[in-house]
């Protein structure tokens, strides 16, 4: 332009003539340039694409969160969230959807059940399957894949799903609760609608105060989406294909949710600039350029709309992935709700009637987190122990601590409430059969996904040869449990024997541990507990009574009278045989099967006699009565001296209850069927022909099983720091096999899982309880240990120095360490196990003495030797020990466990292996009685394959309790051999060992009392 003082005429970009002065021309040019710039920016803005809302990424994040919640749920409640899917027919799209859901469920760690039914299946069959799933406690969410075949009423079938298991959130109750403002929170939300809202929230898109139009009014997406958007304070309009002026309505929306099911239905010109578009639709349209001949598009014209909206979901890859992710979230939430409230399972119709749906919050027993390796770290919910110095008495510490509710402890152990039989708030029986059934089903699901069940590490805690007062083996066991669980966050379950009342009221005291490492409440633990030992006494003495009663009645009755009384007529005139009688006929070879004959009247006179007469030889009766009290005067007694017994007098005796074969059977059985078989196999005497008479022959096996059915279930208790403990059985180690039950160990190993630890104790020293664990219990129960914790004390090792004259305390200790060194070498060299020595600190031990013991153990080959202070400090005092145990169990180069002898060896060779290898004996001598029995048993095909269980003193490696240290070259004298056909081992009586102890001059019961002012037990220790 040429500027002059003259007037010029120019044309604007709109062809409007403007007459300006020279200064006006400049102004016009500037205006023109700015207008052009704005137009260009507008065009650029129109070409700018909306930000994609990545449904795949958001869904992946949700699924990771669900997997973590699933893992926490499993740790807290001992089971996985359970999802059941019912698929009817063979539609490929439905099969594809189900595969996707199953894959997601597996990744989340769910337990799953798949029910695949033919297209022709009846509606009633589908309803029946749903009812079964409603009643299945393993299932928390049920999904029926739609659509169903045309001959089925979909609404009726969906109504049959229990409301609390409605995985899709479609039930009338859930939908109604969703629409109610400020009402009851729905148990589950419709997955696709919930996914739409989740996408908005995670994309930081504000919903509150915005105008939202939902296009589509289906019960699956449209209506639930509207309800959820309103719950987020949006102003919502629900539109559909029949809505008047739909484009104008959509143009007012800040958020558009399109779920109408028509391809490219919503046009770009309908949309408000910078609105947010959630496209739910997924439609197939023909496209010859693709391999499949079609492509998937949404309900919104994506290619045009992306230049108008600020945010938009693609199709596919937008809302679709969220549906499965939100389904997984529903499953976890339903599982959690199922544990928070126990109520009958209701269908939708029943729920509408009751409307009792308010969830009850419940305290969780612990907090959890997960390491990168997948190990669950547990933080038990127990207040920190308040430590006093000096340490109060055990009973005072126990009573000062309020136990956690046992249901919380159960959850930390991986148990469910319906798997417990409660004995008050602080203990409960565990229905082990129900737990195994649940775990078996979960394992089947994992196995189908290519995963094998992995059990935890088994750690056996045993000791050196102790003093009469004990060396803190149980205390160390409990302290280690508290350290692993409460301090290190490991999954841990401790299995421990129930103590006999004999030592409790005698000299040794209780067996709950001590100081700040105890099982609580210790008075319940030590006295009666849940009555298992009393059940053993009742069962054992029932057998004794049955033997004597049978001898009496056979002696005083003729064959026909005996038959009539043993096989009485019923009201129909038949003499029906019991199962035990039919089983006896089979064993005698008189019938082929237990179903061959039912009526005893069909038997011949000879067979009647064989059935009814046992012809017991009283001189061969080996079965004795038992009592759970130390009472030396019952060792030898005479029975039958009353006038009514008609002179049927014989000599017998009592044993302590925990020495009974019934206790051994209870400890070694792994199921109810195994228990019954072992009880029936117990040999009690012989007949006049020298043939063995068993409990089956007496007809008492069924009654024994009934007496012991609850006793086969372990009792759940807890330590002072809240870690779970399974208390079960109590055989002594010096006169029996000295270990807690196979049931408890097997259960604990499965519950703790791959990264967890099961701690169990073996009575007395490694030479007694340890050896019996490795050669008897581990064999029968398939329970190979991962490592050993060997407990030693300065006090005990000083007693293992025989010659104390002119020696300092330090010198005595140095010589006495030969005992602990021998035990370490036996564990490593004989059994191939890593040994972690726990040097249990006593108050008078010096640092120099403790370090000496530690060094001596390491010299002998211990993996680690740790000085512990758990008695006075609780779990904190055993953290180093716990870390050493973890390392010993998890080290990839750990040695292979092996037994001391093969079962194919002769009985004599097995005895020699123990006496020479562990006891360091030079020779083994057999008494005349023992030699005769040895010859007889070696020729018995079954018994000769039994392991041996040597009963001897616990105070020495030898059979002489006064022979201390690590003596060698001594002689072991075997007095008797007693085969235990039910338990499955041979008891070898070595040295002077009593099967029922006596009381000392001042028994422990002097201090035990009931404080009437506090209603508490006092004096237990």
Tokens of 860: 């002998």
Q: What is the torsional sign of CA 921, 923, 927, 929?
A: positive
Q: Are 88 and 149 in contact (CB under 8 A)?
A: yes
Rounded distance, CA 539 to CA 534, Å? 9
Distances (CA, A) of 441 to 138, 436, 566, 635, 713: 9, 9, 44, 50, 20
Instruction: Name residues whose C-beta falls within 8 Å of residue 500's C-beta, 6 or more positions apart in sequence.
Output: 533, 628, 656, 657, 658, 730, 732
The answer to whether the beta carbons of residues 933 and 976 sit under 8 Å apart is yes
Intra-chain end-to-end CA distance of the chain, in Å: 112
Q: Give the ranges where 211-343 is alpha helix by DSSP (H).
A: 222-231, 246-251, 302-305, 320-340
Q: Number of helices and strands (H, E) in the chain?
A: 36, 39
Cβ neighbors of 677 (< 8 A, separation 6 or more) are: none
Q: Which residues contact 932 (CB under 8 A, 6 or more apart)?
A: none
With contact defined as beta carbons under 8 Å apart, do 866 and 837 qualify? yes
**Ranges of H-type helices in 505-575:** 522-526, 532-556, 559-566
DSSP for 555-618, please give it.
Answer: HHS-HHHHHHHHS---TTS--BPPHHHHHHHHHTTSSSSTTS--BGGGS-HHHHHHHH---B-G
C-alpha–C-alpha distance, residues 670 and 190, integer Å: 46
Residue 958: how many CB atoms within 10 A of its CB?
Answer: 26
Alpha helices in 372-417 (DSSP H): 394-400, 406-412
- Phi/psi of residue 305, nearest 5 degrees: -65, -25
Taken in order 586, 592, 594, 596, the sign of the CA dihedral is negative
Contacts of residue 193, defined as CB under 8 A and 6 or more positions apart, other chains included, come to 220, 221, 224, 225, 227, 228
Please say if 242 is a catalytic residue. no
| Among 835, 871, 834, 865, CA closest to 850 | 865
DSSP conformational letter for 463 = E
- The backbone torsions φ and ψ at residue 791, rounded to the nearest 5 degrees and listed phi first, read -95, 130
Question: In Å, what is the CA distance from 110 to each residue of 74, 139, 192, 510?
Answer: 9, 10, 21, 43
Q: How far is CA 618 from CA 479, 547, 687, 693, 774, in A?
A: 50, 9, 8, 12, 37
State the catalytic residue, choosing from 47, 56, 101, 262. Answer: 101
Rounded Cα distance, 80 and 444, in Å? 13
Query: Which positions ≥6 away from 417 have C-beta within 8 Å?
Result: 339, 342, 407, 410
- Which runs of E-coded beta strand occur in 766-892? 787-792, 835-840, 864-868
Total residues found in the chain within this entry: 1021
Mode of pairing for the β-strands spanning 51-52 and 311-312:
parallel
What is the C-alpha separation between 697 and 705, in angstroms, rounded? 15
Beta bridge partners of 215: 239, 258
As annotated, the active-site residues are 101
């Amino acid at each position: 332009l040429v500027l002059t003082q003259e007037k010029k005429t120019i044309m604007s970009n709109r062809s409007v003539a403007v007459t300006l002065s020279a200064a006006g021309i400049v102004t016009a040019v500037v205006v023109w340039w700015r207008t052009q710039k704005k137009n260009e920016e507008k065009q650029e803005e129109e070409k700018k694409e909306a930000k994609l809302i990545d449904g795949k990424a958001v869904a992946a994040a949700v699924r990771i969160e669900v997997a973590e919640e699933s893992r926490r749920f499993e740790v807290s409640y001992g089971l996985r969230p359970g999802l059941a899917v019912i698929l009817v027919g063979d539609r490929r799209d439905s099969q594809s959807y189900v595969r996707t859901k199953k894959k997601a469920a597996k990744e989340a760690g769910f337990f799953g059940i798949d029910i695949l039914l033919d297209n022709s299946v009846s509606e009633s069959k589908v309803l029946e399957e749903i009812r079964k799933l409603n009643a299945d406690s393993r299932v928390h969410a049920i999904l029926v894949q739609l659509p169903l075949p045309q001959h089925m009423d979909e609404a009726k079938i969906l109504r049959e799903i229990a409301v609390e298991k409605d995985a899709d959130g479609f039930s009338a109750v859930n939908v109604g609760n969703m629409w109610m403002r400020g009402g009851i929170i729905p148990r589950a939300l419709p997955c696709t609608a919930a996914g739409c809202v989740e996408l908005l929230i995670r994309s930081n898109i504000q919903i509150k105060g915005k105008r939202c139009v939902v296009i589509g009014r289906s019960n699956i997406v449209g209506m639930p989406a509207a309800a959820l958007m309103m719950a987020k304070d949006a102003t919502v309009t629900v539109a559909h294909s029949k809505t008047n002026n739909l484009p104008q309505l959509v143009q007012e929306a800040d958020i558009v949710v399109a779920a109408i099911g028509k391809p490219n239905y919503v046009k770009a010109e309908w949309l408000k600039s910078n609105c947010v578009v959630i496209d739910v639709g997924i439609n197939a349209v023909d496209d010859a350029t693709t391999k499949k001949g079609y492509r998937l598009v949404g309900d919104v014209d994506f290619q045009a709309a992306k230049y108008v909206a600020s945010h938009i979901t693609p199709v596919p890859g937008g809302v679709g992935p969220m549906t499965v992710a939100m389904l997984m979230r529903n499953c976890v939430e339903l599982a959690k709700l199922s544990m928070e409230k126990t109520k009958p399972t209701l269908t939708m119709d029943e729920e509408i009637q009751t409307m009792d749906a308010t969830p009850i919050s419940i305290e969780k027993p612990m907090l959890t987190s997960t390491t990168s390796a997948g190990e669950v770290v547990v933080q038990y919910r127990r207040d920190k122990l308040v430590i006093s110095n000096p340490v109060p008495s055990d009973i005072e510490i126990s009573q000062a601590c309020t136990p956690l509710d046992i249901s919380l402890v159960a959850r930390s152990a991986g148990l469910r409430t319906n798997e417990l039989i409660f004995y008050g708030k602080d203990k409960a029986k565990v229905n082990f059969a129900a737990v195994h059934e649940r775990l078996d089903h979960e394992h089947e699901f994992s196995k189908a996904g290519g995963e094998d069940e992995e059990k935890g590490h088994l750690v056996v805690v045993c000791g050196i040869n102790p003093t009469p007062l004990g060396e803190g083996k149980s205390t160390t066991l409990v302290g280690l449990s508290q350290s692993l669980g409460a301090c290190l966050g490991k999954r841990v379950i401790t299995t421990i024997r129930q103590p006999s009342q004999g030592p409790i009221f005698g000299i040794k005291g209780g067996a709950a541990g001590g100081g700040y490492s105890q099982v609580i409440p210790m008075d319940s633990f030590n006295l009666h507990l849940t009555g298992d030992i009393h059940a053993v006494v009742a069962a054992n003495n029932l057998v004794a009574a049955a033997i004597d009663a049978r001898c009496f009645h056979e002696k005083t009755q003729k064959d026909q009278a005996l038959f009539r009384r043993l096989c009485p007529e019923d009201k129909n005139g038949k003499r029906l045989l019991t199962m035990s009688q039919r089983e006896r006929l089979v064993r005698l070879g008189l019938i082929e099967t237990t179903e061959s004959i039912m009526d005893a009247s069909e038997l011949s006179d000879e067979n009647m006699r064989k059935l009814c007469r046992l012809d017991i030889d009283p001189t061969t009766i080996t079965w004795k009565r038992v009592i759970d009290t130390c009472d030396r005067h019952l060792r030898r007694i005479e029975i039958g001296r009353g006038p009514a017994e008609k002179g049927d007098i014989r000599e017998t005796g009592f044993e302590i209850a925990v020495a009974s074969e019934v206790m051994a059977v209870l400890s070694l059985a792994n199921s109810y069927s195994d228990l019954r078989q072992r009880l029936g196999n117990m040999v009690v005497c012989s007949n006049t022909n020298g043939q063995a008479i068993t409990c089956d022959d007496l007809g008492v096996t069924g009654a024994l099983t009934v007496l012991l059915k609850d006793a086969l279930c372990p009792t759940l208790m807890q330590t002072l720091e809240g870690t779970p403990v399974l208390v079960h059985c109590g055989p002594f180690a010096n006169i029996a096999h000295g270990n807690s039950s196979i049931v408890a160990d097997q259960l604990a190993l499965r519950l703790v899982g791959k990264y967890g630890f099961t701690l169990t104790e073996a009575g007395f020293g490694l030479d007694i309880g340890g050896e019996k664990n490795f050669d008897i219990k581990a064999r029968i129960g398939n329970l190979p240990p991962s490592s050993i914790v060997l407990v030693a004390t300065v006090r005990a090792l000083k007693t293992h120095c025989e010659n104390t004259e002119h020696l300092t305390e330090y010198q005595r200790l140095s010589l006495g360490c030969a005992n602990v060194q021998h035990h370490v070498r036996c564990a490593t060299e004989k059994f191939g196990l890593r040994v972690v020595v726990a040097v249990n600190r006593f108050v008078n031990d010096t640092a120099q003495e403790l370090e000496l013991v530690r060094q001596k153990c390491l010299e002998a080959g211990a993996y680690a030797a740790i000085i512990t202070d758990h008695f006075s400090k609780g779990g904190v005092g055993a953290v180093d020990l716990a870390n050493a145990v973890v390392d010993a169990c998890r080290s990839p180069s750990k040695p292979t466990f092996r037994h001391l002898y093969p079962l194919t060896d002769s009985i004599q060779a097995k005895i020699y292996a123990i006496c020479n290898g562990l006891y360091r004996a030079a020779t083994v001598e057999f008494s005349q009685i023992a030699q005769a029995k040895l010859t007889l048993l070696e020729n018995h095909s079954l018994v000769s394959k039994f392991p041996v269980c040597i009963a001897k003193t616990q105070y020495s490696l030898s059979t002489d309790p006064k022979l201390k240290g690590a003596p060698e070259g001594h002689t072991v004298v075997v007095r008797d051999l007693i085969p235990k056909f039910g338990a499955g081992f041979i008891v070898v009586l070595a040295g002077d060992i009593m099967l029922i102890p006596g009381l000392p001059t001042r028994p422990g019961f002097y201090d035990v009392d009931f404080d009437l002012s506090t209603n508490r037990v006092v004096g237990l220790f």
